[in-house]
Structure 1
Amino acid sequence: MSVEENKSIAIAVFPAAWNHGDFGPAEKYIHPDVVDHFDDSRGIEAFKGVITGFRSAFSDLQLTVHHEVAEDDLVVHHWTMTGTHDGAFQGIPPTGKSLTWTGITIVRIAGGQIVERWANVDVLGILQQLGVVPPPPAP
């Protein structure tokens, strides 16, 4: 597959799933046994579960892809996510707070499907915004 085809696959999957809960593109373009190195999970159902969990905790969840870079079989997305914490998240009761966090996701595509995913997510920033972890001291 070409780099452009790989980019088309990645951009078709992630905004649809995160922003709208639309897993149609994921069903088509994610291998059933996809390996997610972020949480050491395997399979498309685990992928769907992560997104469903976030969408139930942040009802207005919005993913914005700022940059998309691709080479060979890898596609990288630099993104921002926003949402209002109005549902339980990782055992944290709703706070009503509006959050913004960033991340970078890398996927490897083989045979027209995403077969691996790596992610670097600002989890500390999420926890600080939720008030679970104190913010760093002011300079």
Structure 2
Amino acid sequence: MALSPEENNALCLEFFETAWNTGVVREDLLTADALDHSFVGGKSKTEPGSGSFKQIIGMFRHAMPDIHLTLLDQIYVADKVVHRWSLTGTDTGGVMGMPPSGKTLTFTGTTTVRMSDGKIAERWANVDELGLLQQLGVVPPPPGA
């Protein structure tokens, strides 16, 4: 059964806050064939099921065990939910294959979700990887910054 846009947003809030802030991926909030359209570390992939969600969240939680998601904006209509967010954590495990920096990192992104019958059916995310790499000192900041 289709849920209201508000109910869809509430389920997305529950899923992403739980996943990022505790490391628990709520498979009961995903369709069995949920698609994660990810673009992380310069590689694009689309993978059905919960594996991709678990891999990405696990990768960042391993690198930054104290990682915390803060939602900055929420937009929802019909079966779509869009969140603009920031993640903050201390790099003790090495982000994106880099050696641990010990730095507190903050990066932002946007996640778009398509809901189906009260569950997440698809997810697309855009992450400010350039900003993250600049904080790690891998990429120089822009001139005058």
Q: TM-score, normalised by structure 2?
A: 0.89
Residue 64 (structure 1) aligns with: 70
Residue 11 (structure 1) aligns with: 13
User: 3-state SS of the aligned residue for 1:125?
Assistant: helix
> Where do residues 1-139 of structure 1 align in structure 2 (5 Å cutoff)?
1-23=3-25, 26-39=26-39, 40-42=45-47, 43-138=49-144
Work out the number of aligned pairs and report it: 137
2-structure distance, mates of 1:138, 1:15: 36
Segments of 5+ residues of structure 1 without an aligned counterpart are none
Deviation at 1:33, TM superposition (A): 2.0
Sequence identity percentage: 48
2-structure distance, mates of 1:89, 1:100: 12
User: 3-state SS of the aligned residue for 2:38?
Assistant: coil
Q: Deviations over 1:80-127 (max 9, x none)?
A: 110111002222010001111111111000011111111111010001
1-structure distance, mates of 2:52, 2:127: 17
Q: Deviations over 1:35-76 (max 9, x none)?
A: 122332312111111101100001110000121110010001
Q: TM-score, normalised by structure 1?
A: 0.93
Give the counterpart letter for 1:56 in structure 2: H
2-structure distance, mates of 1:67, 1:103: 11
Give the counterpart letter for 1:130 in structure 2: L
The two structures, once aligned, show a CA RMSD in angstroms of 1.2
Give the counterpart letter for 1:41 in structure 2: T
Segments of 5+ residues of structure 2 without an aligned counterpart are 40-44
